[in-house]
DNA sequence: CGGATAAAAGACACAAGCATCTTTTTTAAT
DNA sequence: ATTAAAAAAGATGCTTGTGTCTTTTATCCG
C-alpha cells in the first residue's frame, strides 16, 4: 500500500533474527532469505543497513551470522520506515502541492493530516519487542508464510 | 505518501473543470495542464479515463474541451482512487504476506486494518461536490499553486 | 603457533519492472 | 481545413531483484 517491500523485508528480517535468538543461536543470511522467501541479495542490503543502524549485530566468518543486540527490541517501527522508505513522504501533500499547509490547505489537507498523524503515532509507539510480545502461537508462520 | 501522482492530477483536474464550468465554459487540456502545472500528455491519459468513467464529459474539435456532467459532483473520492491507483492495494498486507488475514494476522495486521478502514471511510464519504462546497476563498490557488 | 582453507558478510555493478513523463501520430468534430 | 482529443510508442528514473567479486574471520592441519 504505502510502505515498500524493503520495509516489509526489514521488519520480517528483524523479527526472524529475534525469534531465532531465543533459541540461543545466530542466523545466517541464507536461512533468513529462504525461510522468509525473500530475494537473498536484496535482503542482504537491508540487513546490512540495519546492522549499520545498530538495530542488529552481525559477525563474519564461519559460525557467523546475524543476532540480536541491546537495541533490537527497543527499535521502533518508525525507525525501520525511516531507513527503508524515508519519512519525508508522510509530509508531502497528497495532491503534490508544494505550498500545501494548514494556512493554505489543499482540498484534502486536513483529512490526510489526521490519517498521517494516526499512522505516525502508531508506528512511533510500537517497538519490535512489542510485536514479539503480542501473543500469537503461529508467529513464525505469520512472518514467513508468503506462499 | 500512499496515493500516486495520477490520483492527485485526477482530483485537481476534475476540480478545475468543475470550477470553470461555473463560469459557463468548457476547458481544454492545455489550459488545465498549464494552470495546474501538470505534464500535459500524462494528464491527457487521466482525463480520458475520467471521461470514459463518466466522471466528466468532453467534446472534440474546435471549441471542444472538458466539462461537468450530471455525475461529476456526485463522484466519490474513492472512485478516483479506484481508477488511478486501484483499490486492491488497500487489501494487501504491509509485509507482502499472502496469507495474512484476521485469523492469521501478521504483526501489523490490525493496526493497518484500522488505518485502512479509516481512510476508506473518509474517501467513500466525500464527493467532489463536498470538496467544492467547503468554503475556501483561495480554492483555485490551492489546487493550482504547485510552484 | 602459523599459514591454508572455508564460511560468512559486504560491496559493486547491472538487469528487470513499473510509474511517470514526453513525443509523435491518428482520429474526429466543426 | 483546422482544431483538439485519443492513441500509441518512446524516454526517464526509481524500486526491486540478480550475479559476481572482495573482505573478514573461525577453524583445521602441519
pLDDT, tens digit, 9 for 90 and up, residues A65-123: 999 999 999 999 999 999 998 888 888 888 777 778 888 888 888 888 888 898 889 89
Annotate B14-43 with b (16+ C-beta within 10 A) or e (fewer): bbbbbbbbeeeebbebeebbebbebeeeeb
Asked if the Cβ of residue B2 lies within 7 A of any atom of strand C, the reply is no
CB A92, CB B1: distance < 8 Å: yes
CB A80, CB A14: distance < 8 Å: yes
Residue B124 pLDDT: 93
Residue B126 with chain A: CB contacts under 8 Å: 111
Query: What domains sit in chain B, N to C, each tagged with a CATH number?
Result: 5-144 (1.10.10.10)
Average pLDDT over residues A4-12: 92
Number of cross-chain residue pairs from A and B with Cβ atoms under 8 Å apart: 110
- Of residues B89, B85, B117, the one with CA closest to residue B4: B85
In this predicted structure, the answer to whether residue A138 has a pLDDT above a threshold of 50 is: yes
Set of cell numbers at residue B35: 494552470
Footprint of strand D on the protein (CB under 7 A): A 4-6, 9, 39-42, 45, 59-64; B 28-30, 41, 44, 47-48, 51, 58-66
Residue A143 with chain B: CB contacts under 8 Å: 95, 97, 106-107
pLDDT tens, position by position, B78-121:
999 999 988 878 888 887 787 788 888 888 888 888 888 988 89
Task: Measure, in angstroms, how far nucleotide C5 C1' is from residue B9 CA.
Answer: 61
Return the SS3 of B87. Answer: coil
CA B122, CA B101: separation in Å to the nearest integer? Answer: 23
- Residue of chain A minimizing CA distance to B9: A95
Q: How many Å is the Cα radius of gyration of chain A?
A: 18
Residue A90 with chain B: CB contacts under 8 Å: 1
Residue A49 pLDDT: 93
Residue A27 pLDDT: 93
- Residue of chain A minimizing CA distance to B12: A95
Report the nucleotide nearest the CA of residue A39, measured to C1': D17
In this predicted structure, the answer to whether residue A12 has a pLDDT above a threshold of 50 is: yes
- Of residues B117, B121, B79, B128, the one with CA closest to residue A1: B117
CA B53, CA B31: separation in Å to the nearest integer? Answer: 22
Residue A84 pLDDT: 92
Q: What are phi and psi of B106, to 5 degrees?
A: -75, 165
Residue B146 pLDDT: 47
Amino acid at each position: 500500500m504505502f510502505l515498500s517491500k524493503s520495509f516489509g523485508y526489514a521488519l520480517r528480517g528483524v523479527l526472524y533474527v529475534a525469534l531465532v535468538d531465543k533459541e540461543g543461536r545466530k542466523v545466517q543470511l541464507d536461512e533468513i532469505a529462504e525461510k522468509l522467501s525473500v530475494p537473498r541479495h536484496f535482503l542482504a542490503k537491508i540487513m546490512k543497513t540495519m546492522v549499520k543502524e545498530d538495530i542488529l549485530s552481525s559477525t563474519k566468518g564461519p559460525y557467523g551470522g546475524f543476532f540480536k543486540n541491546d537495541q533490537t527490541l527497543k527499535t521502533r517501527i518508525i525507525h525501520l520506515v525511516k531507513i527503508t522508505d524515508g519519512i519525508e513522504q508522510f509530509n508531502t501533500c497528497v495532491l503534490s502541492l508544494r505550498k500545501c499547509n494548514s494556512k493554505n490547505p489543499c482540498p484534502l489537507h486536513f483529512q490526510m493530516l489526521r490519517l498521517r498523524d494516526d499512522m505516525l503515532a502508531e508506528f512511533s509507539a510500537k517497538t519490535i519487542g512489542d510485536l514479539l510480545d503480542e501473543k500469537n502461537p503461529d508467529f513464525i508462520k505469520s512472518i514467513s508464510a508468503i506462499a
